[in-house]
């Protein structure tokens, strides 16, 4: 099923508006059509894919190691399964140029995406922030040229790569976030923040919507809302919980034959 450009435009505007609503946009990320439908049926206003969850479900390691065809195929199955907007975690873009990436995203039926600033080809280092900003600007222009102004969520991987939350790390994350917003990002995603104090500093210092990964160490959604976080993702946590439940039931079947 092909989604008409006018419908994609409407979905993109719905998704963008959710970043500026009274309540934060909460995204319990999906990994296939069934989980996407479950997210929609539970009343969430958008579906976000998780790259780690898609990779696991298709038998690949996470970290841009699966073929782009498999990722976009999974996104297309999710988008076909729901009526709400779909935003896709497409890692760092799989080496595609901006025009090709946006076309494949729209062909899959998604109207938003995460793009991270990790350079997987260079040994999972942080990309130069000016180069990343230029790349994001190219993606924005490509989307507008194709007639659908996608919602661009720019991931900031400082905390992923450093595994620390020093003042220097926070200042670099702030600098990257500001530059990416100036380049055309709708939202920025400083992923893997573990401390509430860091979340507060980031939100206060970033002049645009901030996406936070709802780690177990962080306060729950209502408190993140109080901190003015605009978008809250659960990334691969929901799938890992589902697989843990599956494993426990398999063990029971093996042990005593009960489900």
Domain boundaries in the chain?
5-254
- What is the model's pLDDT at position 2? 62
Q: How many angstroms separate the Cα of 161 from the Cα of each of 10, 53, 112, 170, 193?
A: 36, 20, 24, 13, 12
Closest CA to 208 of 183, 177, 237: 177
DSSP letter (8 states) at residue 207? S
Other beta carbons within 10 Å of 33 = 16
Q: Could you give the CA distance from residue 84 to residue 198 in angstroms, rounded to a whole number?
A: 32
Judge contact between 104 and 48, C-beta under 8 A. Answer: no
- What is the model's pLDDT at position 143? 97
Closest CA to 231 of 214, 217, 210: 210
H helices then E strands: how many in the chain?
Answer: 11, 10
DSSP bridge pairs for 141: none
Q: Could you give the CA distance from residue 103 to residue 107 in angstroms, rounded to a whole number?
A: 6
When computed from its CA atoms, the radius of gyration of the chain, rounded to whole angstroms, is: 18
DSSP bridge pairs for 153: 114, 187
The tokens describing 90, both together, are: 């497409």
pTM listed for this prediction = 0.95
- What is the model's pLDDT at position 4? 66
- What is the model's pLDDT at position 6? 86
Backbone angle region of 109, left / alpha / beta, with phi > 0 → left and psi within -120 to 50 → alpha: left
pLDDT digit of tens for each residue in the chain (259 aa)?
A: 566 678 999 999 999 999 999 999 999 999 999 999 999 999 999 999 999 999 999 999 999 999 999 999 999 999 999 999 999 999 999 999 999 999 999 999 999 999 999 999 888 999 999 999 999 999 999 999 999 999 999 999 999 999 999 999 999 999 999 999 999 999 999 999 999 999 999 999 999 999 999 999 999 999 999 999 999 999 999 999 999 999 999 999 999 999 9
Q: Could you give the CA distance from residue 155 to residue 134 in angstroms, rounded to a whole number?
A: 14
Q: Could you give the CA distance from residue 197 to residue 185 in angstroms, rounded to a whole number?
A: 24
> Three-state DSSP class for 70?
helix
DSSP letter (8 states) at residue 22? S
Pick the CATH number of 5-254 from 1.10.3720.10, 3.20.20.60, 3.40.50.720, 3.40.50.2300: 3.20.20.60
Q: Could you give the CA distance from residue 130 to residue 56 in angstroms, rounded to a whole number?
A: 32
- What is the model's pLDDT at position 1? 55
């Amino acid at each position: 099923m092909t989604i008409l450009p006018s419908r994609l435009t409407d979905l993109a505007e719905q998704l963008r508006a959710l970043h500026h609503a009274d309540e934060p946009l909460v995204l319990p990320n999906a990994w296939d059509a069934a989980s996407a439908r479950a997210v929609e049926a539970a009343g969430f206003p958008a579906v976000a894919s998780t790259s780690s969850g898609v990779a696991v479900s298709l038998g690949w390691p996470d970290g841009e190691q699966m073929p782009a065809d498999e990722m976009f195929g999974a996104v297309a199955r999710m988008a076909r399964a729901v009526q709400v907007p779909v935003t896709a975690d497409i890692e760092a873009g799989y080496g595609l140029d901006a025009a090709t990436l946006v076309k494949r995203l729209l062909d899959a039926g998604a109207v938003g995406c995460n793009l991270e600033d990790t350079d997987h080809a260079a040994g999972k280092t942080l990309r130069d922030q000016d180069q990343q900003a230029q790349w994001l600007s190219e993606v924005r222009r490509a989307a507008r040229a194709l007639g659908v102004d996608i919602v661009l969520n720019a991931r900031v991987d400082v905390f992923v790569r450093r595994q620390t939350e020093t003042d220097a790390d926070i200042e670099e994350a702030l600098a990257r976030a500001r530059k990416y917003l100036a380049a055309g990002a709708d939202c920025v995603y400083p992923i893997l923040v573990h401390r509430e104090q860091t979340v507060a500093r980031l939100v206060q210092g970033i002049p645009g919507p901030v996406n936070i990964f709802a780690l177990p160490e962080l306060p729950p959604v209502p408190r993140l809302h109080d901190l003015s976080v605009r978008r809250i993702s659960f990334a691969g946590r929901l799938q890992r919980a589902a697989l843990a439940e599956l494993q426990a039931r398999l063990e029971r079947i093996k042990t005593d034959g009960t489900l």
